[in-house]
Structure 1
């Protein structure tokens, strides 16, 4: 991505990852969307950072977005036949400073290229069940809604995937 560096978040940047998530949570709440309206799961963020799965998008020395990608499928969402051929996106959050600049789309394209580079067929994610605007966004980014898994103890469950596509050469 021109002018944006995507790199793995370091342990010293856990507060930055959490701050991006909290900013997104507050923005969602201001729009009447119940997504991410619970305390951040810092332990999960720390695990992703430690594993090298959590990334920051940085512009001019400032983190403006975070995305987590890994190869572990959540067994409550994905069927046994699903996992092996995909990379999974979690906790994509873009700072309001970078809103409207297609950064989310660029990060999803980056993740798709990572998936393709690892020999994966699909880029997958699960989204909040009660956020149809988010569902439309992902469909607009080339994802197909596979199914909605309704578990009473989970708010996510709208499962999306799109083909993993290598990055285009400059």
Structure 2
């Protein structure tokens, strides 16, 4: 299976998830959900996602992993597809003009290394390579820290959709780009590079 290697401190490989990865992905998402819950963030189910929510993403080929090839939990995971949540994105938003980020999670062991930013850069490259104009996501309505994280990553707040049955609803977007976003220098991120071929690879 073709893969794209990101130039990271631990030399992690970006690849499509396969069915055998399901237990590790569920464990990573559960660990992240527990951490979020401990921070008072209720965006994800406190015990993580059931397999039936993640299996379709693997089957459709839209879930990706960063790992070191040694087994165990992946360093990070993200889903990237053209699915615009109809409760959030309206026809006036031209939902087909964007790719959408879902299930972005970085393991606690790899936090602070810029992996989330690298995956968002890669997603922006992919969106541009597919002729989309925007990279979009939704996140917790109440998590100001996470919203600030996305603003720092170049996203703008579009609006907040406040639905009583949804913890998420803060909508963000940034322009799809064939170049990497320039950020303030951060030592841990200096070793993170996402080459353009990562955007063009179809895995």
Q: Do Structure 1 and Structure 2 share a fold, with TM-score over 0.5?
A: yes
1:64 aligns with 2:75: yes
3-state SS of paired residue (1:137): helix
Tell me which structure has the larger Cα radius of gyration: 2
1:30 aligns with 2:38: yes
Superposed displacement of residue 37, structure 1: 3.5
CA change 1:41–1:167 in 2 (3 A) is farther
Q: Matched residues in 1 for 2:81 and 2:25: separation?
A: 16
3-state SS of paired residue (2:65): strand
**Alignment length (residue pairs):** 170
**CA RMSD in angstroms, aligned pairs only:** 1.5
Equivalent residue for 1:155, pick from 156, 160, 167: 167
Q: Matched residues in 1 for 2:102 and 2:136: separation?
A: 9
- Is residue 64–residue 78 contact of structure 2 (8 Å, CA) maintained in 1? yes
TM-score (norm 1): 0.94
3-state SS of paired residue (1:81): helix
- Is residue 83–residue 100 contact of structure 2 (8 Å, CA) maintained in 1? yes
Q: Output one character per residue of 1:68-104: Cα deviation in whole Å (capped at 9) or x when no partner.
A: 0100111110011321110000010000110110100
- Is residue 28–residue 34 contact of structure 1 (8 Å, CA) maintained in 2? yes
Q: Matched residues in 2 for 1:17 and 1:10: separation?
A: 10
Superposed displacement of residue 167, structure 1: 4.5
Superposed displacement of residue 60, structure 1: 4.7
